[in-house]
Amino acid sequence: MMGVQAATARLFYDFCLDDHVPADHQLRGIDRHLDLERIRAALQPFYSSTGRPSIDPELMIRMLLVGYCMGIRSERRLCEEVHLNLAYRWFCRLGLDGKIPDHSTFSRNRRGRFRESDILRHLFENIVERCLAEGLVDAEGFAVDASLISADCNKRRSLRSEDWNAAELNEEACRAAREYLATLDDAAFGAASPSTPKFISPSDPAAQWTAERKGHAFFAYAENYLIDTDHGVIVDVEATRAVRQAEVGASQTMLERTEERFGLKPGYLTADTAYGSAKNLAWLVKQKEITPHIPVFDKSIRIDGRFSRSDFTWDPDADHYICPAGKELVQFRRTYATPRTGVDADGIPRYRASKKDCEVCALKPQCCPNDVLRKIPRNVDEDARDVARALAATPEFEVACRRRKKVEMLFAHLKRILRLSRLRLRGPCGAKDEFLLAATAQNLRRLAKLRPMSGQMEPIAA
């Protein structure tokens, strides 16, 4: 006989929300590691002691974490999902009859109290401290990399750089444009590179026009991650323009901030060739004393059959090169009354062979067929590049390169699982907010997976 479902009319129901959330639900694991008491204390000075009570900031932060952990990109949809989903209601401490705040509340608090108090940075660092307490960060080695995230810009409405005049912006300009003016001297944005992009978006001028993906050009920001290579925990995150100079500078900023904030200094740093410039390697080797497992960014290799700089032997004691024919290349061949530095206008010393030696040399067609003599530039930080080249031949370098893939996996997880392939907020502040929340969500998911807990979480000492 076919059954028929009949709705039973009952006056009272015995319903416990906690019983209907599975024990292995991801939000349960995240909730065990989430402590927002310090966040509440940090926000306290930004609320008035009188007047109508505001919406609980812990509720808004929990809802934002639900959105970023579950890949819910729209705040309108987030409010709907929290209203309907029992697990989301349980995580946000709403119960069955708790009122969901309006979606506009998030925007107002983000532009006001959240940014004034830098609360999202505090939240991220609080989770990093939890990872440290759980033994997920050992600081043996760090990896750094950057990934492009599309900005919320319509490139069809962009302007050519020669048609853009920042001096015409005033207080009536959009918020992203005003933030752009505030970051013109910031090394991560306006001062990152002297070059001007081909196109500029009036709705988000700080977004960089780039064709880095070898396809159609687009507006983007760069999300920079500094991770521990042991468990792939993100120890710092930074938003910059999508240019190499800004990304390299962000890596130094993150390393210094991590050492200052958590007392963490890695034994080695692994990265790709973009971070292998002489200046950056010298900063790592000489100032920070960090082993660079980084391929050297070197354009001296010749592919036309002629001798490259690597074919010449460097003698550090005598301060000269030895060519394949056994002749010396030096900076000076006579003594000057006023000592010279040997550094040209580009800031690079150059070593020169003797004209007499080159004219009669049998290897001249392979060395300098079109020049009178051979010249070799040597960067002032070439010794740091030599250290990186020597490390590239070690087994430790291969291990570090394999571990570096963890940061690339985090970017893939960010774009495919958490759906952060395109920003929803505009301006440098919007990019920072989204990147901090996304990194916090990834660390929380990692904590819930690697450190499942059966009891209540012990608070971290301030």
Q: Is residue 356 part of a domain?
A: yes
The CA-CA-CA angle for residues 84, 90, 92, to 5°, reads 90
Q: Tell me which of 8-12, 78-82, 333-337, 377-381 is least confident.
A: 8-12
Banded pLDDT at 346 (limits 50, 70, 90): low
Pairing label, strands 218-228, 141-150: antiparallel
Residue 289 predicted with pLDDT over 90: yes
Percentage of the chain lying above the pLDDT 70 cut: 94
| Nearest C-alpha neighbor of 239 from the set 432, 412, 429 | 432
Decide if 124 contacts 237 (C-beta within 8 A).
Answer: yes
Q: In this predicted model, what pLDDT tens digit does every residue of 355-386 receive, in sequence order?
A: 888 988 989 888 988 888 998 888 888 889 98
Give the count of alpha carbons within 13 A of 27, CB side only: 23
The CA-CA-CA angle for residues 460, 446, 418, to 5°, reads 120
Residue 228 predicted with pLDDT over 90: yes
Give the model's pLDDT for residue 461.
45
Q: How far apart are CA 342 and CA 321, in angstroms?
A: 15
Q: In this predicted model, what pLDDT tens digit does every residue of 205-226 receive, in sequence order?
A: 999 999 876 778 999 999 999 9
Q: Is residue 128 part of a domain?
A: no
Residue after which a domain boundary falls, among 117, 149, 166: 117
Residue 170 predicted with pLDDT over 90: no
Q: Is residue 49 part of a domain?
A: yes
Decide if 219 contacts 150 (C-beta within 8 A).
Answer: yes
Same domain, 366 and 397: no
Q: How far apart are CA 382 and CA 460, in angstroms?
A: 45
Same domain, 422 and 366: no
Q: How far apart are CA 263 and CA 278, in angstroms?
A: 26
Same domain, 25 and 95: yes
Same domain, 157 and 247: yes
Same domain, 283 and 174: yes
Q: Is residue 93 part of a domain?
A: yes
Give the model's pLDDT for residue 91.
95
* Tokens 């570090």, residue located: 400
Domain count, the chain: 3
Q: How far apart are CA 130 and CA 125, in angstroms?
A: 9
Q: How far apart are CA 452 and CA 431, in angstroms?
A: 31
- Domain extent, residue 173, equals 138-295+392-436
Same domain, 24 and 64: yes
Can you read off the two tokens belonging to residue 15? 């319903």
Q: In this predicted model, what pLDDT tens digit does every residue of 234-273 receive, in sequence order?
A: 999 999 999 999 999 999 999 999 999 999 999 999 999 9
Q: Is residue 41 part of a domain?
A: yes
**What pTM, to 2 d.p., does this model score?**
0.89
Q: In this predicted model, what pLDDT tens digit does every residue of 424-454 receive, in sequence order?
A: 999 999 999 999 999 999 999 999 999 886 5
Q: How far apart are CA 130 and CA 404, in angstroms?
A: 23
> H helices within 51-168, ranges in order?
57-69, 75-84, 86-91, 104-109, 115-117, 119-133
Same domain, 278 and 160: yes
Same domain, 204 and 100: no
Q: How far apart are CA 298 and CA 306, in angstroms?
A: 16
Q: Is residue 443 part of a domain?
A: no
> H helices within 183-243, ranges in order?
none
Give the model's pLDDT for residue 213.
66
Q: In this predicted model, what pLDDT tens digit does every residue of 11-68 receive, in sequence order?
A: 677 788 888 899 899 999 999 999 898 888 888 888 888 888 888 899 999 999 999 9
Same domain, 373 and 234: no
Can you tell me the mean pLDDT for 110-137?
92
Contacts of 260 by beta carbon, 8 Å cutoff, 6+ apart: none
Q: Is residue 142 part of a domain?
A: yes
Specify the amino acid at residue 40. Answer: R
Can you read off the two tokens belonging to residue 88? 């989301």
Q: How far apart are CA 294 and CA 142, in angstroms?
A: 12
Same domain, 406 and 355: no
Q: How far apart are CA 265 and CA 142, in angstroms?
A: 9
> First CA to last CA across the chain, in angstroms?
66
Residue 413 predicted with pLDDT over 80: yes
Give the model's pLDDT for residue 174.
87
CATH number reported for the structural domain that contains residue 273 in this entry: 3.30.420
Q: How far apart are CA 163 and CA 197, in angstroms?
A: 12
Same domain, 151 and 35: no
Residue after which a domain boundary falls, among 378, 405, 423: 378
Q: Is residue 186 part of a domain?
A: yes
Same domain, 31 and 74: yes
Decide if 228 contacts 437 (C-beta within 8 A).
Answer: no
Give the model's pLDDT for residue 455.
45
Q: How far apart are CA 307 and CA 62, in angstroms?
A: 62
Whole-Å CA distances, 274 to 106, 209, 298, 396 = 37, 19, 10, 20
Element of type H or E holding 222: strand 218-228
Element of type H or E holding 160: strand 159-160
Whole-Å CA distances, 167 to 164, 170, 176 = 9, 8, 15
Residue length, the chain? Answer: 462
